A and B are shown apart, each in its own frame.
Chain A
Amino acid sequence: MNAAGTARENGMTVDAVPSVQVRDVVKEFHLDDGQRLVALDGMSLEIPAESFVALIGPSGCGKSTVLRMIASLDTPTSGSVTVNGNPPAALAANHRLGVAFQDHALLPWLDVRRNIELPYRVSGMPVDAERVSQLIALVGLTGLERARPKQLSGGLRQRVAIARSLVLRPEVLLLDEPFGALDAVTRRHMNYEMQRIWAEEKLTTLLVTHSVDEALFLADRVLVMSARPGHVIQSLDVPFERPRTVETMRSELFHRLQDELTAALDSRAEP
């Protein structure tokens, strides 16, 4: 499967420095009763610049913890996490990081437009009104600029959160189950939208999800994590050309890869 590669990878220099590197990370949590919980052990991954990597794994395997480390919201017990060779905190401090959380994390007292403008205000940069309008159009929220988050459906809120994560053209985009709370139809719809947006923005992206379909449809490479203590047990370079369509998802290869990844997820669930 790796031999197939992707069009994108073929176009890149072979020894390009990976944008995001997670190396031999161990993460331990100390529980209230004094016990230690090893969430991650020997966790390594690379996200090459301008590529889309999806991380899938059983719930509780620590995939969100990996994302939180790259977002500098959490630190490894041992091992290293770097972004372009720097500690991840530097990326956040320079306002070069975009994150869409599972919970949309919109501020309820701001309307749609103000929520999307928030990264400008936090970074102290002047608000690029045109960029904001473009993004509002890109995620399909035109006409809802003045609406408050509580007036929007779950899918629309998630679009606002995605627009907000993209607004500063971040170096790294982290998506933590952004569609996890949506129904299947909305979710599939959001996947199409996400692909369209990503085709326009081409960002170094990590998607954490438990949906095999979503990972295969969106990513250049899918990494499968083991159950706790989590580490990568399989890496798959997705062979489909972009843009991917409904036909892609109906193809025999898609189903075969889907089965393969599902099996990889499942193998660790058995004792």
Chain B
Amino acid sequence: MAAVARREKGSALLGALGIGMFLLAWEVIGQNRWLGLTWPALSDVVDYLFTPSRQTLFLRALTASLGSLVIGYCLGLVAGIAAAMFAHTVSATRSGLDTMSAFIHAIPSIALAPLFIVFLGRENTPAALAALSTFFVMYVTTTSSFASSRPEWIDLMRVLGASRFDRLRMLDIPAAIPIIVGGMRLAAPSSLIGVIIGEWFGASRGVGVLIINAMQNFQIPLLWSAVVLAVIVSLSLFALFGLLQKYAERRFR
């Protein structure tokens, strides 16, 4: 027990050291302009990001992106889990739904985005792309998570005379929760990618808009700041869902 804790502490320390070295390298390379003008120092980016006069710009972009993210993520989440439950209860639909979701996933978002703009309009495309990638991750993790009901639990439900629905409600869903939450964690960053790609194709606001505009206008510190912002959002969501996953594992296993 103590050995495991020590090892975990050790690996966390090693991880922090790695991140520290990466950030230091970023700063040194930028300060000395070893990679030219397009690589700013970390301190310059942070400085740019936290300048009070630019707060409204970033805040507005962030609000727009997070709005699309929440809508798209929730839609994809509900649709993905619902489709997986449907495939699980009506087993005849399972292979069809599997193929369909894999097929949708195989189409690059970049190729779909112009189509979505035509169908749904510029403002809805980021959320739609986020929903699509969330749907796929959630469908795949939820269908596979239903395999986590152990055979003896399934036997138990059978000898108790449980209906299919009771089994889903009392066994399959609770047993699947830790894996579903793990899927939610994975879906968050890929959902953000969907939002940013969607915004590139001409949304009026958002972190993706900042990135594309800054690139086209060669505003290097702005470009880097917007990317850092996207990374911060992505990592925060990942960490938040990580905590949720830890809780779910303690509660349901």
A residues at B contact (CB < 8 Å): 71-73, 92-95, 97, 99, 101, 103, 105, 107-109, 118-119, 121-123, 150, 174
Contacts and interface: CB of A to CB of B under 8 A. Distances in A.
B220 interface: no
B162 interface: yes
A95 B161 contact: yes
Given A101-B152, A122-B166, A107 B158 contact: no
B170 A121 contact: yes
Contacts of A123: 160-161
A109 B252 contact: yes
Given A107-B171, A122-B166, A92 B153 contact: no
Interface string B147-172: 00010110111111110001000110
B237 to A, nearest CB: 26
B251 interface: yes
Given A103-B152, A105-B152, A107-B174, A122 B157 contact: yes
B152 A72 contact: no
B159 A99 contact: yes
Interface in B125-156: 150, 152-153, 155-156
A99 B161 CA distance: 12
Interface residues of B, number: 20
Contacts of B153: 105, 107
B170 A122 contact: yes
Contact of B161 (A94, A101, A150, A174): A94
Contacts, number: 59
Nearest to A150: B253
Contacts of B253: 108-109, 150
Given A105-B152, A118-B170, A95 B160 contact: yes
Contacts of B166: 121-122
B156 A99 contact: yes
A174 B155 CA distance: 13
Contacts of A150: 253
21 contacts: A71-B155, A71-B158, A73-B155, A73-B159, A92-B161, A95-B161, A97-B159, A99-B155, A99-B159, A105-B153, A107-B153, A107-B170, A107-B174, A107-B175, A109-B175, A109-B251, A109-B252, A121-B166, A122-B157, A122-B166, A123-B161
Given A101-B155, A103-B152, A105-B155, A122 B160 contact: yes
